[in-house]
Amino acid sequence: MTDHADPGRVVVAVAQFAPTADRAANLTLIDELTGEASARGARVVLFPEYSSYFIDPFDASLADHAEEIGGDFTNGLAEIAARYDTHVVAGLLERAGDDRRVRNTVVAVDAQGVRARYRKLHLYDAFGQRESDWVEPGEIGAPETFEVDGLRFGMQTCYDLRFPEVSRTLADAGVDVMLVAAEWVRGPLKEQQWRTLLHARAIENTSYVLAADHPPPLGVGHSMIVDPQGVEIAAVGVTTDVVVAHLDRAAVERVRRVNPALALRRYRVVPRD
């Protein structure tokens, strides 16, 4: 195992790919991309929403391919994480409370198993889509986070990005790095909105933001890493690819000293009835 002796500094990666309806093939590609990221020093690798299984349009096969946390997909991620001594973060279909719908879940996995999970709160019932027909929304609760070499990570999913309260609850939980797993559907102005919202979430929370999307033709691609000042420090185009960046907790602290927006705010986030 590699000795990681530089607390507060972490190499991270964003991996962009198009998941299919073949779970084994998806895991194989996740393995390959994680290996590429690890060879470049990555300790955390973020993959898109629905990495375990994806079909367009949605149909009843979603429930057929859902599994429990700790099932074959997360066990496969743990094997990959152990092989490359890294943390793998990816979206999966989790079994829900009924036989018809699923949970849209993101898990952070290391060699020992699941470190944190996030169930999508805001379902994509917009732009002519009805995700709630197939997906059960997550319950509101305290964010699950995980730490790697002195940096704290938190997660959210795709459409959640349009709701700044989700990111703010992560900031309140002490997160330095926000991970966004997405299938950001293409459409008029959608790429511009994707970029704008990712940069805004970084700026207003003075945090790093990592975002992994599906490439075209369904997603917009342009997965990226944004620093706490809203500067895009690494990005993928529209292909299957991996980018890495070096994150530094000192940079977060420095930005928050100069711009103490989190400390100066006069509102807090509370759940809506």
Distance CA 128, CA 108 (A): 31
Query: What are the catalytic residues?
Result: 49, 120, 158
Query: 3-class DSSP state for residue 35?
Result: helix
Residue showing tokens 């705010």? 265
Extended strands (E) in 54-204: 87-95, 102-110, 113-119, 135-136, 146-148, 151-157, 177-181
C-beta of residue 91 within 8 angstroms of C-beta of residue 51: yes
Give Cα separations from 229 to 4, 58, 164, 232, 265 (angstroms): 26, 37, 16, 9, 17
Q: Residue 15 class from Cβ within 10 Å (0-12 exposed, 13-18 middle, 19+ buried)? A: buried
